[in-house]
Amino acid sequence: MKATPLFLGISTLVFSSLSMSAFAATADDTAALKAAIDHPIRSSANKARDEYRHPLETLSFFEVTPKSTVVEVSPGGGWYSEILAPLLQQQGQYYAAHQPADAKSEYAQKSLAAYKAKLAADPVYSKVTVTGFTPVAGYKIAPDGSADVVVTFRNLHNWYMQKGDESLLNAYKSFYAALKPGGVLGVVEHRLPENKLSTKWQDSGYMPQSLAVKLAEEAGFVLEATSEVNANPRDTADHKNGVWALPPTLANKETDKAKYLAIGESDRMTLKFRKPKAQ
């Protein structure tokens, strides 16, 4: 895959100088992941976003294999479910921690119902286990110590907008409990430039990477590596209506639409944390 200045291929992931694990995907693992990304269950609209979301590089970086037990937290409409369900159907296990079954809001109930309807529509989803998640203390997303990998994509800001540090710390603690010792937490999130920390960024949809890391470490995680595979240097993170000004939402409608389309999707941090092994 040829790298560009904006979006980097799998052979050109940019890592921090942090210590790295000995994990290396086998050729069979990579082939299975590519097959899942090419699976016919995926919608054409979702496939079109691969150029911004880089599922092969991202899931490889997070050490997801066909034999993994994976928890995806807040899968939304199931963009990654269309990849993870076929990937894990035969040898792995996939927990989708969606809205809680007892969620009070109409939006949450409709979102959960739509997701369950998606799963019911095709047997490729037959082994998906739907659990719930909300960022309150002690919430269980999967059995304790069961997951090899917990992943979440562009959700930190949603939890942070509830009760700030408290909500995000609660989320991280739930992820920590679900992971096996030595397991991986993979986070992709809209990234706020550190020089904008003094602005009113909390409702922008962006998160400062320093805060995302700090709270994860408070929950017990170790930041093992970072990748720039989902970076977009064209995104200045200072748009009217925040991150939602960019595609695919285009919250400002026709106003400056060409500018936002030229920027593309948001600049994103991609972080790999490790739950320490028991001493």
Per-residue pLDDT of the chain (279 residues; tens, 9 = 90+): 333 333 333 333 444 445 445 687 899 999 999 999 999 999 999 999 999 999 999 999 999 999 999 999 999 999 999 999 999 999 999 999 999 999 999 999 999 999 999 999 999 999 999 999 999 999 999 999 999 999 999 999 999 999 999 999 999 999 999 999 999 999 999 999 999 999 999 999 999 999 999 999 999 999 999 999 999 999 999 999 999 999 999 999 999 999 999 999 999 999 999 999 975
Token pair in block for residue 210: 């320093």
What are the Cα distances from residue 124, in Å, to 41, 90, 157, 257?
8, 10, 31, 37
Q: Where are the domains of the chain?
A: 10-274
C-alpha span between 208 and 194 (Å, rounded): 6
Model pTM? 0.92
Residue 11 DSSP one-character state: G
Q: Cβ(149)–Cβ(25) under 8 Å?
A: no
Fold of 10-274: Rossmann fold (3.40.50)
Cβ neighbors of 224 (< 8 A, separation 6 or more) are 18, 19, 20, 21, 184, 272, 273, 274
Q: Cβ(38)–Cβ(29) under 8 Å?
A: no
